[in-house]
């Protein structure tokens, strides 16, 4: 269900804490561009810059990611999540970090049954000071499970999985 495996201290009473992954993508301001998701010819290429924090810095230290005030980035969970077809889930930020202004998902907390992949996190700093996050270690969100009374057939799950195993912050709908 999780890869890499979760540790016992990630298991809560009603949720599983997930760690922050290493990939961060920033949406860049571009003059003359309007995002129109219903347009067939909308191309998101060039709107995001990405950075991988998995390698140590020049001094061999683990890198931290700093989210500035009023800054938005898309990141992913360290754990790849595999849901069975009789469970849905939602992703929620942890109150410990929300008290400093960190939003973990802007509007998209729901995860469909049969989901497979790293979960995209829409990080935003609403607070007045920057927030430093430790990729691979900081538990920034938790996953809450919801039982589905009628399991979703595999062919239906495949048809609604726009972002299953996504490789970047934006993927054009099917």
Active site residue ranges? 122
Distance in Å from the first CA to the final CA of the chain: 26
- Cα atoms in the 13 Å half-sphere on the side-chain side of 66: 4
DSSP the chain: -EESPPPGGGB-SS-EEEEEEEEEEEEPP-TT----TT-TT---TTSEEEEE--S--TTSPPP-EEE-TT-EEEEEEEEEEE--TTEEEEEEE-HHHHTTTEES-SS--EE-TT-EEEEEEEEEE-SSS-EEE-TTT-EEEEEEEEE-SSPPPHHHHHHT-TTTT-SSS-----
**Is residue 171 within 8 Å of residue 163, measured between CB atoms?**
yes
């Amino acid at each position: 269900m999780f890869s890499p495996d979760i540790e016992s201290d990630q298991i809560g009473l009603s949720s599983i804490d997930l760690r922050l992954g290493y990939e961060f993508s920033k949406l860049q301001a571009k003059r003359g561009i309007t995002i129109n998701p219903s347009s067939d010819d909308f191309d998101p290429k060039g709107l995001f810059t990405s950075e991988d924090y998995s390698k140590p810095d020049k001094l061999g230290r683990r890198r931290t990611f700093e989210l500035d005030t009023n800054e938005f980035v898309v990141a992913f969970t360290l754990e790849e999540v595999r849901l069975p077809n009789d469970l849905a889930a939602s992703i929620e930020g942890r109150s410990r970090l929300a008290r400093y202004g960190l939003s973990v998902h802007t509007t998209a907390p729901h995860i469909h049954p049969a989901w497979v992949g790293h979960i995209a996190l829409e990080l935003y700093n609403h607070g007045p000071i920057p927030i430093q996050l430790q990729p691979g270690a900081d538990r920034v969100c938790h996953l809450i499970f919801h039982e589905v009374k009628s399991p979703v057939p595999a062919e239906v799950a495949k048809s609604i999985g726009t972002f299953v195993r996504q490789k970047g912050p934006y993927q054009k709908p099917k």
